[in-house]
Amino acid sequence: MNPKARILVVDDEQSMQEFLEIFFRSEGYEVVTAGSVQAAQLQLESDEFDVVITDIQMPGGSGLDLLHLCYDVAPEAVVIMITAFASTETAISAMKEGAYDYVTKPFKVDELRIVVEKALEKKLLASENRRLRTELRSHARDRSIVGSSPAIRRVFDLASQVADSKANVLITGESGTGKEVVARSIHSGGTRSDRPFVAVNCAAIPETLLESELFGHMKGSFTGAVQNKAGLFETADSGTLFLDEVGELTLPVQVKLLRAIQEKTFRRVGGNTDIRADVRIVAATNRKLEDEVTAGRFRDDLYYRLNVIEIEVPALRDRPDDIPLLAAHFVEKYAAELEREPVPLSDEAIETLVKYRFPGNVRELENAIERAVALGRGPVIGVDALPPSITNPAPSEVTARIPKSGIDLESMVNEFEGELLMEALRASGGVKKRAAQLVGVSFRSFRYRLEKLGLDNPDHEDG
């Protein structure tokens, strides 16, 4: 029993109101009475109640009407029905619609007291579960948040706000900024946190296999399909599907993805049966999808389905104050993996890191710290343990020289981009996939850029 609990008694008979008020007050509860659904509504809208005890048959509105009203006005209140024997079926229907229990007139007050006590126990347990779930979500978010700059706090504040939403989220930002960390934070902070989080890099899977990977396939649907296989949509059912580098999807796969999002159904490759899946989509891209839509490489209807809420993750160079915190976090992480005691970075090492531009963003910083922890010896990690690319960065060859006559910016940018692509091809021996890795773009993006600039050469190898 919770003596502080508040009970609302609703009955059109004044004598029943008074009887239950006296009884439950003697049990230590706070009690308010109402003689109709309309009067009860006024009480529910102006105050909070733990339990609502209502007669089913009342003039001007039934107990079922009051139950439905509680859904909107007081969803956390537990509703108990009082019914005459002839209305038992109605009471059972009310339980199917969310009422906690019912008692049949004439009832013993001890019977009603026990029902109320059990209802309060249930409410208390549900409240405790919500509190623990909120606490766990908070801890999950805290573990993934590294940084205190206004830029990154805005990201995680927004991620926290949308966590409980069902809306799809599009995370944008440069490669290596931590878009998957944000996606996991959204998942772990929401109501789907105890369900699967399934991540797929759309650029890492060959075009011919991507549809099968996402939606599954039936045995014999293509060469190598030796058995039925569930896709990632099925695996992520009731959870979150994270589509990294979503801008790399081909148009045919985009069509099928759009249908799966709109209809919440899809078919496996080679299948003829619709499969339902309740999946929240969180997508990420380092491309400007608006430009891809304009160029006809990305469907506008899919773009709007994915971009219900957009979260842009800032580049690391735009939040240099977070570098020391991130570096310390990675030192602890990799020291634990090597079963060593973490040692701090020297002031000089930290200063060197903060001055560096980090074109590879957080991923580059993490790789640098992993190396430093592995190589570092002594009471601190010094500059000598950092990669040469950070301690002795190559000077930028790009300089701004604008003649009085002006320039053709687009032509100059295309020329510079073409030189970089050709240099990457020379360094890779003409292998496009390796060249794409050297300039930090996907194979498809590299190939598209070559074609756009008229530099594609059949002598260059794809693989």
Q: What is the DSSP string of 385-454?
A: GS-HHHHSPPPP-------TT---HHHHHHHHHHHHHHHHHHHTTTBHHHHHHHHT--HHHHHHHHHHTT
**Please, which pLDDT band fits residue 330 given cuts at 50, 70 and 90?**
very high
Choosing among 3.40.50.300, 3.30.70.980, 3.30.300.30, 3.30.450.20, the CATH entry for 145-312 is 3.40.50.300
Quick check: 85 and 55 in contact, CB under 8 A? no
Alpha carbon of residue 377 to chain centroid: 40
- The CATH class of the 6-128 domain is alpha beta
Mean of the per-residue pLDDT values of the chain: 86
Name beta bridge partners: 78: 51
The answer, yes or no, to whether residue 140 has pLDDT greater than 50, is no
Range with lowest mean pLDDT among 7-16, 311-320, 402-411 = 402-411
What values do phi and psi take at 293, rounded to 5? -65, -45
Name beta bridge partners: 196: none
pLDDT at 136: 47
Dihedral sign from CA coordinates of 212, 213, 218, 219: positive
Question: Could you tell me which residues come within 8 angstroms of residue 328 by beta carbon, excluding any fewer than 6 positions away?
Answer: 344, 345
Quick check: 204 and 243 in contact, CB under 8 A? no
**Please, which pLDDT band fits residue 380 given cuts at 50, 70 and 90?**
very high
Helix 109-144 / helix 150-162 crossing angle, nearest 10 deg: 150
Question: Could you tell me which residues come within 8 angstroms of residue 316 by beta carbon, excluding any fewer than 6 positions away?
Answer: 176, 177, 322, 323, 326, 358, 361, 362, 364, 365
Residue with tokens 């039936």: 218
Tell me the three state secondary structure of residue 123: helix
Gap between the Cα atoms of 81 and 267, Å rounded: 46
Gap between the Cα atoms of 322 and 99, Å rounded: 51
The answer, yes or no, to whether residue 401 has pLDDT greater than 90, is no
Alpha carbon of residue 83 to chain centroid: 45
Cα angle 285-290-293, degrees, rounded to a multiple of 5: 100
Tell me the three state secondary structure of residue 31: strand
Q: Evaluate whether the domain defined by 409-452 bears CATH number 1.10.3720.10.
A: no
Q: Among 346, 453, 452, 450, which residue's Cα sits nearest to residue 462?
A: 450
The answer, yes or no, to whether residue 143 has pLDDT greater than 70, is no
Q: Residue 420 is which amino acid?
A: L
Question: Looking at residue 314, what DSSP letter applies?
Answer: P
The answer, yes or no, to whether residue 91 has pLDDT greater than 80, is no
Q: Among 268, 242, 256, 264, which residue's Cα sits nearest to residue 299?
A: 256
pLDDT in tens, 345-357: 999 999 999 999 9
pLDDT at 202: 93
Q: Residue 51 is which amino acid?
A: V
Q: Among 376, 292, 281, which residue's Cα sits nearest to residue 327?
A: 376
Gap between the Cα atoms of 229 and 213, Å rounded: 9
Gap between the Cα atoms of 9 and 328, Å rounded: 59
Dihedral sign from CA coordinates of 10, 16, 22, 24: negative
Alpha-carbon distance values, 281 to 6, 404, 462 (Å): 41, 51, 31
The answer, yes or no, to whether residue 147 has pLDDT greater than 70, is yes
Q: Are strands 51-55 and 280-285 parallel, antiparallel or unpaired?
A: unpaired
pLDDT at 138: 43
pLDDT in tens, 281-323: 999 999 999 999 999 999 999 999 999 999 999 999 999 999 9
pLDDT in tens, 314-328: 999 999 999 999 999
pLDDT at 250: 92
pLDDT at 458: 60
pLDDT higher for 412 or 371? Answer: 371
The answer, yes or no, to whether residue 28 has pLDDT greater than 50, is yes
Quick check: 83 and 89 in contact, CB under 8 A? no
Say how many C-beta atoms besides its own lie within 10 A of residue 357's C-beta.
14
Q: Among 156, 118, 161, 112, which residue's Cα sits nearest to residue 9?
A: 112
**DSSP characters over 56-80:** S--TTS-HHHHHHHHHHH-TTSEEE
Q: Evaluate whether the domain defined by 316-391 bears CATH number 1.10.8.60.
A: yes
The answer, yes or no, to whether residue 364 has pLDDT greater than 80, is yes
Q: Where are the beta strands (DSSP E) in 96-168?
A: 101-104
Pairs from 429-432 (Cβ < 8 Å, separation ≥ 24): 430/457, 430/459, 430/460, 430/461, 431/460, 431/461, 431/463, 432/460, 432/461, 432/462
Q: What residue segments make up the domains of the chain, in order of their start?
A: 6-128, 145-312, 316-391, 409-452
pLDDT at 227: 80
Gap between the Cα atoms of 122 and 100, Å rounded: 9
Gap between the Cα atoms of 41 and 43, Å rounded: 5
**Please, which pLDDT band fits residue 89 given cuts at 50, 70 and 90?**
confident
Question: Side by side, which strands form the sheet with 309-312?
Answer: 197-201, 240-244, 280-285, 169-172, 309-312
Q: Are strands 280-285 and 240-244 parallel, antiparallel or unpaired?
A: parallel
- The yes-or-no answer to whether 6-128 and 145-312 have a common fold is yes
